[in-house]
Chain A
């Protein structure tokens, strides 16, 4: 868990080498309620911090999630097309995109778990 980093917009980031997987946090998933659709971007799209990388629709709302880091999208989790509820079941396992990081220092600037938990209270 210590390796996960968080944005204040409720995305998690897990770095592996020079790529990172990105998803939404369990807190966000709980707030959204039953998730019925995860709008996946295209592989090859490039993201700058703050760009919307996914829109998650739940029984309550459809919600845009801004990118916590910059980079090119190298993979999307297509399993979520058929099983969007996986985000509710295990938000840390249900990664949404994987990006090739432009700037690793953007990850350092994100929140650690304690700091993220503090803003969820």
Chain B
């Protein structure tokens, strides 16, 4: 008889939750099946091999205080907020069964009288609109199937952060497939995150033909409580070893190298006409590092433009780093007061152009 382990997190920190999921993934044994329920604060989570610049409107996301994360599984970019519930099914090859796992989600929704349909890409839809999407990851005989359930997600925010139009961005990597989405809460007010959690646990037990979970892990900030004091999750060392593993993975999930990607190369070009002249940037980026930059402008301060172009390679292709670079170069022109004033105006315009273009 398999051991069914329920895990829940009351943290809304996407990096912590992804780390905890990774910990479950790394430690699940044959004969065990983990069901993990979790939520994030406002976050765009990109797939393993996506170009985040292509998938997420970083300016919008930053504007509403949202976070950017990248997961280990493939697939497209999604938006999480408190109206979205995430599920993870984690098992080794012996118990892993995507069909059965998707059935848990369908059964949970059916408890509210809603007929759900599966579509080809492992999406679950009602009336042709997607409310749940899944993504998958496999390593050393362990499998992760995780996904979203939209209950009352702020769809205006979703659109503002996932709609990206970079006319001239050319990149490899995996592109998202846009779907028409639906909040379950629109169909029946009975569905809340809490009632859906209850329905999911119930549907899980029913689908896996068992009457209870053998263990429950509750994760709250830095403490992890095991309902039955199961030794397996901590036996390899101790609670301390587990927290250490979590902390290491959290560092990875939070790092710019992981989030912006170290291997995906792309080129982008953007420009704008201002009162002082026109300016065009051309970037070649690998991961998040600018490997080459060209700046073209008919401004009356060509030395500023040249210095800027010279300073850009090696910087990170994110607004903060580019903005700082622009400021740094602008501040070096201070001997002539009039010139310094004009360059300050140009620098501010360039910074807003960068903010709206990345």
Q: Which residues from chain A sit less than 8 Å from chain B, CB to CB? A: 36-37, 39-40, 52, 55, 57-64, 66, 81-82
Cross-chain contact B139 with A58 (CB below 8 angstroms): no
Cross-chain contact A61 with B138 (CB below 8 angstroms): yes
Residue B173 interfacial (CB < 8 Å): yes
Residues from chain B with a CB closer than 8 A to the CB of A58 are 74
Known contacts A57-B49, A64-B139; 10 further A-B pairs (Cβ under 8 A):
A36-B49, A36-B174, A37-B48, A40-B263, A55-B48, A57-B48, A59-B121, A60-B136, A62-B74, A62-B137
Size category, B interface: 10 to 19
Residues from chain B with a CB closer than 8 A to the CB of A59 are 121
Q: Is the interface of B mostly helix, strand, loop or mixed?
A: loop
Q: List 29 A-B contacts (CB under 8 A).
A: A36-B74, A37-B48, A37-B49, A37-B74, A37-B172, A37-B174, A39-B48, A39-B263, A52-B139, A57-B47, A57-B48, A57-B49, A57-B174, A58-B74, A59-B121, A60-B136, A61-B138, A62-B48, A62-B49, A62-B72, A62-B73, A62-B74, A62-B137, A62-B138, A63-B138, A64-B138, A64-B139, A66-B140, A82-B172
Q: Is the interface of A mostly helix, strand, loop or mixed?
A: strand
Q: What's the least CB distance linking A7 to chain B, in Å? A: 13
How many angstroms between the C-alpha atoms of A60 and B135 in the bound complex? 8
Cross-chain contact B136 with A62 (CB below 8 angstroms): yes
Of chain A, the residue at the smallest CB distance from B72 is A62
Residues from chain B with a CB closer than 8 A to the CB of A62 are 47-49, 72-74, 136-138
The 6 A-B pairs of least Cβ separation, nearest first, read: A61-B136, A62-B74, A57-B74, A37-B49, A64-B139, A63-B138
Residues from chain B with a CB closer than 8 A to the CB of A66 are 140
Choose among A52, A62, A81 the residue with the greatest number of B CB atoms under 10 Å from its CB. A62
How many angstroms between the C-alpha atoms of A39 and B264 in the bound complex? 9
Residues from chain B with a CB closer than 8 A to the CB of A57 are 47-49, 74, 174
1/0 contact string of B40-78 vs chain A (CB within 8 Å): 000000011100000000000000000000001110000
Of chain B, the residue at the smallest CB distance from A62 is B74
Cross-chain contact B139 with A63 (CB below 8 angstroms): yes
